[in-house]
Amino acid sequence: MNQNPSSDHHEVLIIGAGAAGISVAARLLDADTPPRVTLLDPATRHYYQPLWTLVGAGVVPKEESMREMAELIPWGAQWIQDTAVRFDPHANVVLTEGGRTLTYDYLVVCPGLQINWEAVPGLQEALGTGGVCSNYDYEESEYTWTALQEVARKPGPIRALFTQPAGAFKCGGAPQKIMYLVADHLRLKGRLKDAEVHFFHPGTIIFGVPQFARTLNQVIERYGIQTHFGHELVEVRPEAREAVFRITGEDGETVERVEAFDFLHVTPPQGPPDVVRQSDLADRESGWVEVDPHTLRHPRFPNVFSLGDVSGSPNAKTGAAIRKQAPVVAENLLAVRAGRSLDPAVRYDGYASCPLITGYGKLVLAEFDYDNEPAPSFPFDTSQERYSMWVLKKDVLPRMYWHGMLKGRA
């Protein structure tokens, strides 16, 4: 790091220019008396990641999920293309990789989460070859479709494995969505009868909201998917085409299980970025940014807010959650800036939405809150598979994201 960093002050400093950072910046700048807003993010490209499942299933090209970051930064915001390497919330300071010392009046922390590919030995080396794929990367999502086409053409029996990691990760339904699409593709090609489809899950249930779980269990039965709970991926052996799982019994004892595969889709372990986890902003136990779950304000640093995947609020980590969190953060920050008490009506209730694709042209729209109670947006039962919800996922939500949410309008 530069030993003589420049020093500059920012009224509102937002760490991260993803869905959360840009949405909050747009809303702040649209206020009657807008603050000066700075976004800190090194990326040159911005991704609408929910499309990557559809990329992996051959429905849309990966390029539809990408925009140049410069096109999305809200007018009036300053953009610093750099990376935060240290937070000192006691002094209202953020240090950057480029050697800058940024001070602030208000801090919004939303750099997203960290994907820990290296946590599973052999995974990084295997990705993109030999049927090992993951929709948690822009480039790799394209290989999922390549691998799926290859395995569908393979003569003889097919073994397709899908994994879900322990702990929190973005889009809790993603490991299942691609599994159902792969099974449906094999069905359409007349190969499902030759396939074993296995889902390995470290938990004990398929989905936390019972009415949606009932439908998913019916989908699992329809495709003949074999579910294995209490299983966590701990190693990939690409040359042998084997995946190693740790099984944890009710008594806490663990054993390993080795499974051969022709196709392996991995949802990698994820967690808070190291720079957050090692800072005083983090909850000591979890490593996520500590926040009040309803105001999204830090309980120990009153000029700090956090939202999105890095936030320690106990909601599902989805883009839909961010859409509900962004107006709460913007309004509460503006209230603190104006010297007002927080409006008790401006609260985040844990809303999250998971559009659960169950096949080509079929989708279950799961919407729920902190209590895992349904929180529907439509006047009909979205726990049933519907083509209309598939259209919502594929065509409507991306447009709403680019032209509404990132503009502070939705």
Mind telling me the catalytic residues? Answer: 171, 354
Amino acid identity at 121: P
50 Ramachandran zone, left/alpha/beta (phi>0; psi -120 to 50): alpha
How many angstroms separate the Cα of 366 from the Cα of each of 173, 190, 373, 379, 382? 9, 30, 10, 14, 7
Question: If you search the block for the tokens 């603050």, which residue do you land on?
Answer: 35
135 Ramachandran zone, left/alpha/beta (phi>0; psi -120 to 50): alpha
Sign for the CA dihedral angle at 52, 55, 59, 63 comes to positive
Q: Are the C-beta atoms of 298 and 281 separated by less than 8 Å?
A: yes
Amino acid identity at 148: L
Helix orientation angle between 174-188 and 210-223, rounded to the nearest 10 degrees: 30
CB atoms within 10 A of CB 66: 14
